[in-house]
C-alpha cells in the first residue's frame, strides 16, 4: 500500500514537471510568434496559432503537446512568410534602384511603398518629363507621388 502511494506520488511529480515544461515551451513559442507577427506589421499574415480554448480547464499532457505542436507549426509558417516578404521587398528595391539609374529602360513602371515595406501610400513611377513632348524626346524621370487621397473635412451640421 505504501509502495503504491509512493509510485503515484512519483508519477504525479513527473506529470507536474512535464506540464510545467510544456507550458514553458508554449509560452516561448507564443512569444516568438507574437514577435514575428509584430515585426512584419502591417504586412504580416496573421493566422490562428492554436485551437481555440473551450473555457477554463486544466489541459492534459496530450492537449498541451498538441497546442505546442500547433504553435511550432505557426512559428514555422510565420518565418516562411517573413522570408518570402523579405525576398519580395528586396526584389522591389532592386527594381527601384534600376528605375532610378535608367528611367528610359523602365517606362511607366510603378513601385509602391508597400511593395518596398515602407510606410505610407506613395508610389514610384517612371513618367515622361514634359508630357507628350518629353515622351517623344526620350526625357524620362522617376517621380514619387504621395498616393494618399486628399482628406476632405466632414461638413459640420
Quote the pLDDT of residue 138. 86
pLDDT > 70 fraction of the chain, expressed in percent and rounded: 78
The residues that bridge with 124 in the sheet, in sequence order, are: 111, 144
Quote the pLDDT of residue 7. 64
Average per-residue pLDDT for the chain? 83
Domain spans of the chain? 2-44+61-85, 102-145
Average pLDDT over residues 80-109: 93
Residue with cell string 501610400: 121
For the segment 24-48, what is each residue's pLDDT rounded down to a tens digit?
A: 999 999 999 888 888 877 776 766 6
Are 123 and 99 spatial neighbours (Cβ–Cβ below 8 Å)?
A: no
Torsion of Cα atoms, 38 then 42 then 45 then 46, to 10°: 50
pTM to 2 decimals?
0.68
For the segment 56-89, what is each residue's pLDDT rounded down to a tens digit?
A: 677 788 888 998 999 999 999 889 988 999 999 9
Amino acid at each position: 500500500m505504501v509502495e503504491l502511494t509512493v509510485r503515484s506520488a512519483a508519477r504525479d511529480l513527473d506529470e507536474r514537471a512535464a506540464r510545467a515544461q510544456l507550458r514553458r515551451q508554449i509560452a516561448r513559442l507564443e512569444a516568438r510568434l507574437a514577435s514575428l507577427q509584430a515585426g512584419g506589421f502591417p504586412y504580416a499574415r496573421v493566422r490562428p496559432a492554436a485551437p481555440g480554448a473551450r473555457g477554463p480547464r486544466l489541459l492534459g499532457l496530450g492537449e498541451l503537446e498538441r497546442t505546442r505542436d500547433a504553435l511550432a507549426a505557426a512559428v514555422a509558417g510565420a518565418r516562411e512568410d517573413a522570408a518570402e516578404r523579405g525576398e519580395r521587398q528586396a526584389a522591389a528595391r532592386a527594381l527601384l534602384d534600376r528605375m532610378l539609374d535608367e528611367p528610359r529602360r523602365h517606362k511607366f513602371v510603378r513601385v509602391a511603398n508597400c511593395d518596398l515595406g515602407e510606410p505610407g501610400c506613395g508610389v514610384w513611377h517612371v513618367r515622361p518629363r514634359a508630357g507628350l513632348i518629353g515622351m517623344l524626346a526620350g526625357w524620362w524621370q522617376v517621380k514619387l507621388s504621395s498616393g494618399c487621397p486628399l482628406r476632405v473635412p466632414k461638413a459640420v451640421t
